[in-house]
Amino acid sequence: MIYIINKSNKPDFNIALEEYCFKNLTKFDKIFILWINEPSIIVGKNQNTLAEINEKYIAENGIHVVRRISGGGAVYHDLNNLNYTIISNESKDSRNFDFKSFSEPVIHTLKDMGVEAEFSGRNDITIDGKKICGNAQAYLDGRVMHHGCLLFDVDLSVLSKALETSKDVVDSKGVKSVRSRVTNILPYLQKGITVNEFSDSILNHMKEKHPYMMEYTLSDEDLQNIEKNRAEKFGNWNWNFGSNPIAEIIRERRYPAGKTQLFINTKNGVIKDVLFYGTFFGVKSDLTEVQNLLKGVKYTPEEVNKALSTIDVTPYFAGFTIEELTDAIVG
């Protein structure tokens, strides 16, 4: 197992670094990285970026927007937010994304500091029922990349303004409820420390748990490849935003395994085009097969269900049933 000290605060570089380690440093069975971003919104692989952000606010305040390669929802980062990445060669069951075991280093470190945190829901770490960390994962050829963002001392007022809150997470008075559902770690600590000192504590915990873990220094070749990936992909508008989908039918639903947002065009009662967005996870991130499968299918629950039943949807939509996907599309 190796760890990488990453001092960059540039979100597009840091996301490119993750992907490079995930896809290229495969000779190492486990990799651990800690990193901190400048103010930025990191959107999930399957999300419609423009629907997740307050575009005017982030432009006025110089907030970066970068799309990651894992599923899940959009998160806000700033210089008091600590991110961690664990990459492993261990093959995981594609039907059961394992967020809990990868969250243990954070939970154990907080416990050593006198803070009782726990894993909650699908992929969160909470303190007193409030979210302090969201987690996401990506899979490739039996290799898993798990990453989480820890709210250490984040400016929650900016978080609530920068992220566009969906109707299904707005309270009964119509007020955005983001700040009431999340909290920072710092107020729960017995003594005040900086985010960098907190980062050191987590790294020390990992060293104690993995005494043979060694530091890996990125070579010039590594850095050149990461920078190339940053410039061509994660620093590129087409990757981070893409085209804003236009559709005659827009459907949003929320299920235990995640939120779906579909853009559908039909002609004479038959599906012409369909695009999937959402906070769901899947081992296969390219949804082209599913989208092409539905083209030419009658836009009825019976026909959509019949079409979906011809393939295994789990690698694309982990935790979803065919009935739920049918409901998301046409139910």
Domains of the chain by range and CATH? 2-240 (3.30.930.10), 249-330 (3.30.390.50)
Query: Quick one: CA torsion of 48, 53, 54, 56, rounded to 10 degrees?
Result: -70
- Structure tokens belonging to residue 220: 């010039």
Phi then psi for 14, rounded to 5 degrees?
-65, -40
- Structure tokens belonging to residue 27: 């000779």
Concatenated DSSP letters of 177-241? -HHHHB--SGGGSSS---HHHHHHHHHHHHHHH-TT-EE-PPPHHHHHHHHHHIIIIIT-HHHHT
CA distance 197 to 35: 13
CB 3 within 8 A of CB 206: yes
Q: What do you get for the CA distance between the two ends of the chain, in Å?
A: 47
- What is the structure's pLDDT at 173? 31
- What is the structure's pLDDT at 297? 94
- Please work out, in degrees rounded to the nearest 5, the angle formed at the alpha carbon of residue 136 by the alpha carbons of 106 and 313: 145
Taking only the tens place, the pLDDT of each residue in 133-167 is 888 888 888 888 989 999 999 999 999 899 875 54
- What is the structure's pLDDT at 243? 61
Residues 6+ apart with CB under 8 A from 308: 290, 293, 294, 322, 325, 326
CB 260 within 8 A of CB 281: no
CB 162 within 8 A of CB 54: yes
Half-sphere exposure of 160 (CA within 13 A, CB side): 14
- What is the structure's pLDDT at 183? 92
- What is the structure's pLDDT at 170? 35
- What is the structure's pLDDT at 153? 96
Which positions of the chain have pLDDT values less than 50? 92-95, 167-180
